[in-house]
Amino acid sequence: MKNIVILGSSGSIGKQTVDIIKRHPDLFKVVGLSVQSNIKVLEKQITELKPKVVAITDEAAAKSFKDKNYEGIEIITGLDGLEYLAAYSDANIVLNALVGSVGLKSTLSALKAGKILALANKESMVAGGAIVNRIKEESGATIIPVDSEHNAIFQCLVGECKDEVERLIITASGGPFRGRSFNDLKSVTVEEALAHPRWTMGPKITIDSATLMNKGLEVIEARWLFDMPYEKIDVVVHPQSIVHSMVEFKDGSIKAHLGKTDMRIPIQYALSYPERLPSPLPSLNLIEVAQLTFEKPDIKNFPCLKLAFESIKRGKTYPAVLNAANEEAVDAFLKKKISFTTIPYVIEKVMDEHEAGNELDLGILLEAERWARSRAREVIDLH
């Protein structure tokens, strides 16, 4: 029996993880859950899964929950609860499905405690990859990526030698606005941006997919997860989203991972690794798919991808600054304060003003993030 903690259990990945766990009650047991404020979903999950501990990070939501008196369940409130849950003594696997760089501390906490970390929170790798890898090395903990592209690469690398890898090829669907010009993109609405053609995801990542920032964050994530220089990571647009990513080896062989566009497949693999379990879906019908096409990403009209590459080239605190500015800009777009094309403008401005020092530790990183967020908010307000 594997005991599992789900951080961010009311979000899209969290709910799909619960779906997988419920299919295998003999293999998986949920011991801990965390939500920000969605008490309704949490209550349903408590009834179904009977966890030992729950964390609610939003204080007001926690108060209304506490009034209800759940016997035998430990309830923790505030952001510290996430770190406690990530290191929970009864857990074997911690699935981190938090949204944004708020997930970094939980990632570090799970690794320090030697857990198997099923990582869906890409921002923790983007912001703190160097620090995350340092802690992982020290503790000997394991990270299994949940993000479909990285899960695909992870699977392609099973049984392979890292020195023989020539490059990683990350596929991108191109998002809902593929083929549009920058001028055209100025007037797209929040509703249009939220309608992703292939994947069902939460709002933050769906906007990131529309700007191509999601792919940029994934390049940075891959750089740290697989310890690959960014020069050896390519992005190709693949609108059918059937090939989830590829690895090229030095003999010219390319291994690809294909599958349906359903996050439950990588989630299940992350939980069952190194074993495989029966699929929750019918088989992929390649005759129906018929065609797999590939094209170059359009960085001229979608500058976020270029900015992400630029941040990793500059290194140090730049990826964390890029990520923090992006989180603020996406939030402002979702609240209809700025236009779609202002998102890259905000990020570029904040990145250009950032001055990184030579040292890098968690304190320096969090300070750079704090600065980037407040500067991004100013740029948004002035715009």
Binding site for Mg ion (CB under 5 A): 147-149
In the complex, least distance from residue 79 CB atom to Mg ion, rounded to whole angstroms: 25
Cβ–Cβ < 8 Å for 48, 18: yes
47 CB burial (10 A radius; 0-12, 13-18, 19+): exposed
Residue (of 47, 23, 102) closest to 271 by Cα position: 23
In the complex, least distance from residue 276 CB atom to Mg ion, rounded to whole angstroms: 21
> Closer to Mg ion at the Cβ: 147 or 327?
147
In the complex, least distance from residue 214 CB atom to Mg ion, rounded to whole angstroms: 6
The first and second tokens of residue 155, run together, are 């699977």
The first and second tokens of residue 360, run together, are 């890098």
In the complex, least distance from residue 233 CB atom to Mg ion, rounded to whole angstroms: 14
Q: Which helix (H) or strand (E) holds 109?
A: helix 104-112
In the complex, least distance from residue 245 CB atom to Mg ion, rounded to whole angstroms: 9
In the complex, least distance from residue 204 CB atom to Mg ion, rounded to whole angstroms: 13
> Closer to Mg ion at the Cβ: 123 or 147?
147
Collapsing DSSP to helix, strand or coil, 327 comes out as helix
> Closer to Mg ion at the Cβ: 147 or 248?
147
Cβ–Cβ < 8 Å for 304, 182: no
> Closer to Mg ion at the Cβ: 114 or 203?
203
> H helices then E strands: how many in the chain?
17, 11
> Closer to Mg ion at the Cβ: 149 or 328?
149
Other beta carbons within 10 Å of 285: 9
* Sign of the dihedral through C-alpha 147, 148, 150, 154: positive
> Closer to Mg ion at the Cβ: 108 or 201?
201
Cβ–Cβ < 8 Å for 95, 271: yes
Cα three-residue angle 114-53-19, rounded to 5 degrees: 85
**Closest chain position to Mg ion (CB):** 147
Name every residue whose Cβ is closer than 8 Å to that of residue 163 and which is 6 or more positions away in sequence. none
In the complex, least distance from residue 199 CB atom to Mg ion, rounded to whole angstroms: 8
> Closer to Mg ion at the Cβ: 29 or 150?
150
In the complex, least distance from residue 42 CB atom to Mg ion, rounded to whole angstroms: 26
- Could you give the CA distance from residue 116 to residue 103 in angstroms, rounded to a whole number? 16
> Closer to Mg ion at the Cβ: 77 or 148?
148
How far out from the chain centre does Cα 285 lie?
A: 28
